[in-house]
Amino acid sequence: MKSVNMYDYLVIGAYFLFMLGIGLYFMKINKGGKEYFAGGNMIPWWVSGMTLYMANFSAWTFTGAAGFAYATGWFAILYFSVWSISYYFGSQLTAARWRRTRSISPVEYTNTRFNFTTQQFLSVVIATNFTLSAGVQLAATCKLLAPVMGLDITMVTLITGIVILAYTFMGGLWAVSITDVVQGVILLSITFIVMPLALGLVGSPGDLIAALPPLSFDHTYNGVHYTEHWLISIFIIMSLGTAAGGAQRFYSVKDEKDAKRVGKLAGGLFLTVPLVFGVPPLVAKVIWPDLSQVDFFKPYIGSNPQDLVFIGLCLKLLPNGLIGVFLAAMLAATMSTLSSVYNMVSSILSRDIYQGWIRPETTDEGLLKVGRMFSVGIGLLVTGLAVFFVNSQFGIFNLMQAFFTLLNIPVVVPVAFGLLFRRVPKWSAVGSITWGLIIGLTTRYVLGWDIGPQVYLAFVMSFGIFASSPWTGGLFKTQKSLLLLISVSVTLATGFLFSATHTGNPMEASAELQTLLGWVSAVVLGVSLFGFAKLFSSDSEEQRKAVAEFFQKLDTPVDVADEVFGAGKKQVSTFPLVGSTTIVMGLLISLIFFTELGEGEATILAVMIAIMIFFGAFMWYFGKKSEIRSAAQYEQKS
């Protein structure tokens, strides 16, 4: 295998400077909070779709996910395949409604639809979830880059975190979106080269299938049990999570039609995931069945060496220079995810907490300043978390699954269905979030359930209290005795379920203590049902009128000429910038031809350059025509 040399360092350094340049370019566009957090609702749908696609990748995809694929084989390919279906389904469920909320924060609408407490509660939970996950993703990047490049892991963490923070701080959602497109081209270009080269190491797809063990739905990975139920739980979370977590991508485009296009494009792009991210680790399993016997992996035995199989293949297959491009692609993926998190979480903290709670009189220009300050704080916090996570023995993949499956269901159920269900009262979301968190913590971390059953029960209970809230609220007013009987039944049913199903010992606690804690949770659920029912029944006529007005807004199509291009605003040109930047990057990569290339490496390099120049020219030509047509269309409407 090759090692990283000066050409690779030059590529990575140039890439960092390029990211900062984009941030500076778009700094002049952001005049207020709406531009900084929602792109002024003028982000092209194809840019937003690419951003939604790229926001799901980081170095974790090349490390934790690759290690999981190496260990579980075809089971991981099924996991990757779930992404496309769930993103398409989830986006079509609520994309148009998200655009009609006219929001600039993912939880902004919940103040009107539910109440102020719900907005603040959701703000805290969502901000916590995405910040923790971002820490894991940055840790995955540093865990990979530091040993490969021979650098101190803390230094790598600090430099990477600061660069991402800098261009997000300066450029806002525009910088995030444009860099995501360019990063997507780099990522897809390099992975589409690695995949066939890796496959060539084993012969053909048929040879790979014959060499691997058959599909199994039962795997234990770093102490965590994964089955087909986990796959179903991922589909549930991703489908609803797209409806909630992808909100910023839907409300930042011009209208409802573009919002739906965003989801369709992202779902289509996710069809590439099983091939470009799943096949190389399977090849590694065939050619390196015992990593302890391979020199490259020997220093990492005992600390999840399978997380490095993707980079091992790249060092084996790619010429120097393109190795740097691959490392830049991983940085690109991580930068995309983290910059999206920084911008989204800062929008929640500044719009929903600071302006919504602390200082309502904050102007749009003031919101921009506050948002940038929060971006700095979030970036520093994520960097600190990454330093902590990188030393964890739990494994990068398991850390991500822990946060993803615990915190997503309680949030996405009320946020997604709040756009669809008109009759649920204002306190229903708080009840749903509370029950989801109690169920998740109890089943997973007290009773030791597998992830799949944990998500099933959390979803059923969270959705159950949410959807039944009009009925239970009515019972509180008219039949308190029946409601009390239902609350006791919930306590007994969940208590007996918990006491009969503690399967592990995650807390190093005795079976008796686990049973006791399970009953405590059951009692809390039963008592809270009665208490929430009282809140559900408290909606005033004025509150119901506000909800009716909210849904009237959702039923009203966006007037693009007035709402987007009003006050003399003009379409921000993006196609020429993205296309020309991609072409220039492809030409710069051609400088690698002046280095010493081995047999066949010149062909690999030429293919990479051709892909980038083709994509750049395609975006320039067809994008320019699309922009001219769109501009003429909206001028006629206005």
Q: What is the pLDDT of residue 355?
A: 75
Residue 339 binned pLDDT confidence (cut-offs 50, 70, 90): low
Between residues 195 and 630, which one has the greater pLDDT?
195
Concatenating the DSSP letter of every residue in 586-628 gives: HHHHGGGGGS---TTHHHHHHHHHHHHHHHHHHHHHHHHHHHH
Residue 38 binned pLDDT confidence (cut-offs 50, 70, 90): very low
Euclidean distance between the first and the last CA atom of the chain, given in angstroms as a whole number: 61
Q: Are 415 and 110 in contact (CB under 8 A)?
A: yes
The answer to the question of residue 463 being in a domain is no
The answer to the question of residue 612 being in a domain is no
Residue 231 binned pLDDT confidence (cut-offs 50, 70, 90): very high
Q: What is the pLDDT of residue 485?
A: 95
Q: What is the pLDDT of residue 531?
A: 93
Between residues 566 and 313, which one has the greater pLDDT?
313
In the chain, the percentage of residues whose pLDDT exceeds 90 is: 22
pLDDT tens-digit series, residues 549-599: 889 988 988 887 776 666 555 555 566 767 777 787 788 778 778 777 777
339/55 Cα distance (integer angstroms): 9
Q: Which residues contact 330 (CB under 8 A, 6 or more apart)?
A: 58, 59, 62, 141, 144, 145
Q: What is the pLDDT of residue 32?
A: 46
Q: What is the pLDDT of residue 259?
A: 86
Q: Are 493 and 525 in contact (CB under 8 A)?
A: no
Q: Is the pLDDT of residue 209 over 80?
A: yes
The answer to the question of residue 328 being in a domain is yes
Stretch 331-360: mean pLDDT: 71
Q: Are 136 and 389 in contact (CB under 8 A)?
A: yes
Between residues 577 and 263, which one has the greater pLDDT?
263
The answer to the question of residue 532 being in a domain is no
**Average confidence score pLDDT of the chain:** 80
Phi, psi (degrees; rounded to nearest 5) at 226: -120, 130
Nearest to 202 by CA among 276, 277, 281, 305: 281
Amino acid at 267: G
Contacts from 206-209 at CB under 8 Å and sequence distance 24+? 208/279, 208/282, 208/283, 208/286
At 163, list the tokens: 């660069």
The answer to the question of residue 158 being in a domain is yes
Instruction: Characterize 289-301 residue by residue with b for buried, 16 or more Cβ atoms within 10 angstroms of its Cβ, and e for exposed.
Output: eebeebebbeebe
At 29, list the tokens: 């566009």
Q: What is the pLDDT of residue 39?
A: 46
The parent domain of residue 270 ranges over 6-408
Nearest to 247 by CA among 358, 425, 110, 378: 110
- If you count them, how many residues does the chain have? 638
Between residues 367 and 230, which one has the greater pLDDT?
230
Between residues 567 and 341, which one has the greater pLDDT?
341
Q: Is the pLDDT of residue 462 over 90?
A: yes
Stretch 602-625: mean pLDDT: 80
Q: What is the pLDDT of residue 367?
A: 74
Residue 36 binned pLDDT confidence (cut-offs 50, 70, 90): very low
Stretch 399-408: mean pLDDT: 74
Stated as kind and residue range, the H or E segment containing 220 is strand 218-221
The CA-CA-CA angle for residues 407, 409, 410, to 5°, reads 75
Q: Are 364 and 192 in contact (CB under 8 A)?
A: no
Q: Which residues contact 621 (CB under 8 A, 6 or more apart)?
A: 579
Q: Mapped to the 3 state alphabet, what secondary structure does 446-501 carry?
A: HCCCCHHHHHHHHHHHHHHHHHCHHHHHHHHHHCHHHHHHHHHHHHHHHHHHHHHC
Between residues 357 and 114, which one has the greater pLDDT?
114
The answer to the question of residue 258 being in a domain is yes
Between residues 48 and 65, which one has the greater pLDDT?
65
As for how many domains the chain has, the answer is: 1
Amino acid at 509: A
Stretch 102-119: mean pLDDT: 77
Q: What is the pLDDT of residue 470?
A: 94
User: What DSSP character marks residue 101?
Assistant: T
Alpha helices in 503-600 (DSSP H): 511-536, 541-554, 560-563, 575-589
The answer to the question of residue 338 being in a domain is yes
Stretch 95-111: mean pLDDT: 78
Q: What is the pLDDT of residue 522?
A: 95
Q: Are 494 and 522 in contact (CB under 8 A)?
A: yes
Which residue in this structure is represented by tokens 């669809």?
Answer: 420
Q: What is the pLDDT of residue 33?
A: 45
Choose the most confident range, by mean pLDDT, from 6-15, 41-50, 551-560: 551-560
Stretch 18-30: mean pLDDT: 61
Please give the model's pTM, rounded to 2 decimal places: 0.76
Stretch 249-273: mean pLDDT: 86
Angle between helices 469-478 and 451-467 (to 10 degrees): 50
Stretch 175-188: mean pLDDT: 65
Stretch 82-87: mean pLDDT: 89
Phi, psi (degrees; rounded to nearest 5) at 212: -95, 150
The answer to the question of residue 102 being in a domain is yes
pLDDT tens-digit series, residues 376-388: 788 788 877 777 7
At 603, list the tokens: 């062909």
Beta-bridge mates of residue 225: 220
Q: What is the pLDDT of residue 165?
A: 67
User: What DSSP character marks residue 32?
Assistant: S
In the chain, the percentage of residues whose pLDDT exceeds 70 is: 79
Q: Which domain CATH number covers 192?
A: 1.20.1730.10
What does the radius of gyration of the chain's CA atoms come to, in whole angstroms?
25
Stretch 449-454: mean pLDDT: 88
